[in-house]
Chain A
Amino acid sequence: NAGVMQNPRHLVRRRGQEARLRCSPMKGHSHVYWYRQLPEEGLKFMVYLQKENIIDESGMPKERFSAEFPKEGPSILRIQQVVRGDSAAYFCASSPRDSSYNSPLHFGNGTRLTVT
C-alpha cells in the first residue's frame, strides 16, 4: 500500500549539470502533478500530466525544465543546466483518474535539490 514515491530524497548538483527527479504515483493513480517549494515559501504548481500526455505546463519555466509521464515507469522532472536558483524541494502528487476537484491530492516526501 505504498504512497507516492519520490527519489532521490536529496540531490546535489553542480551548476550546469542535469537533475532528474522521479515520481511513482500511488497504485491506481494516473494523474501526476509536480510542485516546487522554494525556501520559506508555499508550493507552486509546475505541471500536470496524465500517462503519455502533458495536460498543463503553465507553471513550468520556459527553458531548461521538462516533464514526462511515460506509459511504463515513473514520471520524470528534468532540469538541464541547473543554476543556484533551482535549489528547492520538488514535490510530486497524484490523484485517481476519476478524481473530482474536492478529492485531495496525495503528496510524496519530495526531492530536495541543492545546486552548488
Chain B
Amino acid sequence: GNSVTQMEGPVTLSEEAFLTINCTYTATGYPSLFWYVQYPGEGLQLLLKATKADDKGSNKGFEATYRKETTSFHLEKGSVQVSDSAVYFCALSSIIQGAQKLVFGQGTRLTINP
C-alpha cells in the first residue's frame, strides 16, 4: 500500500541555518505530493505541493522537488527563522474508491532558536 516515511525529529537549528527534512514515499501510480505545516494548537496548513515528476513546489522560502527516480520529496529552506518552528508533514494523495485520501508521514518537529 501507499506509505510515506519522514526524517525523524525533533530537529533543532539556529536561525538562518539551512534546513532539509527528508521524505520518501511508496505508491502505486502517480500520486501528488504535499508538505503540510502544523503550528502549535492549530490544524494543518498546506505549505506546498507537486503533482508530477520533476515539479518543484515552493512557498515562503520552502522548496521541494518531486523526484520519481528516488521516490523522494525532500523539504528545503535556505535560511530558517524562529517563526518556522512547527511540525512538518509530508503527504501523498491518491484516489481510492473515489475518495481523495491523504497518507501522511509521522511528522517532523522543527525548533528554530534565535
Contact residues of A between 71 and 116, Cβ < 8 Å to B: 91, 93, 95, 99-105, 107-110
Bits for B42-66, please: 1 = Cβ < 8 Å to A, else 0: 1111100101000000000000000
Decide: A105 and B102 in contact? CB cutoff 8 A. yes
A28 contacts B by Cβ under 8 Å: no
A42 in complex: contacting residue of B31, B98, B99, B107, CB < 8 Å: B107
B59 vs chain A, min Cβ distance (A): 12
Q: Which 5 A-B pairs have the closest CB atoms?
A: A42-B104, A102-B32, A107-B43, A48-B99, A109-B43
Q: Provide the residues of chain A in CB contact with B51, threshold 8 Å.
A: 102
Contacts from B to A (Cβ < 8 Å) = 4, 31-32, 34, 36, 41-46, 49, 51, 89, 93-107
How many angstroms between the C-alpha atoms of A95 and B99 in the bound complex?
10
Shortest CB distance B54–A (Å): 15
Which residues of the partner chain A approach B106 to less than 8 Å between Cβ atoms? 40-42
Contacts of A103 in B (CB 8 A): 100
Give CA–CA (A56, B98) in the complex, Å: 9
- A12 on the B face (CB < 8 A): no
Q: Which residues of B contact A40 (CB under 8 A)?
A: 106-107
**Within the complex, what minimum Cβ distance (angstroms) separates A92 from chain B?**
9
